[in-house]
Structure 1
């Protein structure tokens, strides 16, 4: 359900792409009340969500590999490896460094949480002015849950199946801790992207994680009842 505080009509939102229209339809059909100041704020969320989906597909088709931190790699022209993650080199622009991950993906390897952070950064960059992005996200440190507070990533209980949201598939009987679960972007109906697994259906995500359990495991992987997404209303202030 969509509430526009200024009383605007949703049908005044013109020129949407097929992906944006799909996202809008999902939000409209939701039982949750999604409130926006005006059509521009709603359009901004649709744009960022579309970019999350596009960038997830780009990462899936890229040469970026799945790796734990000890075996990970980032392009040293932009990044310095520290004990807490990859820190942006002095004098390098965050916007250029984030673009490089998608343009020179063969130089990068990371795990699934970092993949989500990188997709979020790239999607925000695609939606606001590069100079704003550089100011907001400098200095920049990336790995796992290390990211700039200005990203405005939030996690809450419940699943609403809005394309562009991120869900977590838990694997309680994992063998290797790196496969204790998978963060996955919900792309569209029954289609998820998880770095290291790829673009698969819900059942195939569970099936893939179940092949990564310890011997004599008894518990199946499952999707947690939680959603991670960007706080689009906060990000809209930067647009």
Structure 2
């Protein structure tokens, strides 16, 4: 359910009936989870950003960016430097907004694995929600590699089986074939119509994605792929506050280490585990 300033929020006529926003709000109200907001503007921001995540996922699906492992990743050299480990580093003096938009506008020049695809979708959706001025001030040092993310995105794991459109979920393939290790799992954006977008698979139902993964099991493997009960979500409230960023806002911030693991298609939770290990080692 949705609470607005501590009071239950009922479906209103703010959004077209049957539209993406209306469906998102319905899903929120149908779950036993309480989604609490301080203001209607905060709720509108999250619903709009979730809608933009869905739109960005569908746009990527309609484009020509290929799924590839880190070793075979490629990008447009006008905007990005391809690093030795298969990451994309923003070139100096390139506006971050233009570089992100180019991935969708010149998609045939790009190839990346599925975790990187989800980060790209998130950045593109945030750009369309915050606008170019705020986005370019916040994300001046973009680096795309696996689940590496800027702290202002605030991506975090939510343990739940109540998924909302715009969440990123993970289909685990416990008996994946090590010869095709990129099928260890699939990161997928939850869409509004009950389907999911996975880079390299496309838009399919949960069962169809599970069938895809089961076909890539190792010889003798018998454990079925399955949808994990967790979701990766942006920090919508933090981003809502940044949407009214003033010129005096300090844009310097501590940045996460890039965890070089060379494993395609890992979950966000797995990446955070690697990140946690590095920070633990540094402070032990």
From 188, 192, 198, give the equivalent of 1:194: 198
Provide the aligned C-alpha RMSD in A: 1.6
Query: Is the aligned partner of 1:159 residue 2:161?
Result: yes
Shift of 1:9: 5.4
Q: Where in structure 1 are there 5+ consecutive unaligned residues?
A: none
Shift of 1:161: 2.1
Give the stretch that moved more between structures: 120-129 or 2-11: 2-11
Say which SS state the counterpart of residue 225 (structure 1) adopts: strand
Query: Is the aligned partner of 1:53 residue 2:57?
Result: no
From 169, 172, 188, give the equivalent of 1:170: 172
Q: Which residue of 1 aligns with 2:274?
A: none
From 138, 141, 144, give the equivalent of 2:140: 138
Q: Is the 8 A contact 2:2 2:9 kept in 1?
A: no
**Structure 1 runs, 4 residues or longer, greater than 3 Å off:** 6-13
**Cα distance change, pair 5–233 in 1 and its aligned pair in 2 (3 A):** same
Shift of 1:180: 0.6
Taking structure 1 as the reference length, the TM-score comes to: 0.95
Q: Which residue of 2 aligns with 1:234?
A: 238
Say which SS state the counterpart of residue 52 (structure 1) adopts: helix
Please state which structure has a larger fraction of its residues in strand: 1
**Cα distance change, pair 226–7 in 1 and its aligned pair in 2 (3 A):** closer
- Residues paired across the two proteins, number: 239
Q: Distance in 1 between matches of 2:94 and 2:55?
A: 25
Q: Is the 8 A contact 1:56 1:119 kept in 2?
A: yes
Say which SS state the counterpart of residue 188 (structure 1) adopts: coil
Q: Where in structure 2 are there 5+ consecutive unaligned residues?
A: 244-284
Q: Is the 8 A contact 2:20 2:192 kept in 1?
A: no
Q: Distance in 2 between matches of 1:157 and 1:34?
A: 15
Shift of 1:31: 0.4
Q: Distance in 2 between matches of 1:118 and 1:95?
A: 11
Shift of 1:14: 1.9
Shift of 1:114: 0.6
Query: Is the aligned partner of 1:22 residue 2:23?
Result: yes
**Cα distance change, pair 58–192 in 1 and its aligned pair in 2 (3 A):** same
The correspondence of residues 26-105 of structure 1 with structure 2, limited to 5 A, is 26-84=27-85, 85-105=87-107
The correspondence of residues 176-215 of structure 1 with structure 2, limited to 5 A, is 176-215=180-219
Say which SS state the counterpart of residue 75 (structure 2) adopts: coil
**Cα distance change, pair 8–188 in 1 and its aligned pair in 2 (3 A):** closer
Taking structure 2 as the reference length, the TM-score comes to: 0.81
Query: Is the aligned partner of 1:220 residue 2:221?
Result: no
Q: Which residue of 1 aligns with 2:113?
A: 111
Q: Distance in 1 between matches of 2:88 and 2:113?
A: 13
Q: Is the 8 A contact 2:73 2:112 kept in 1?
A: yes
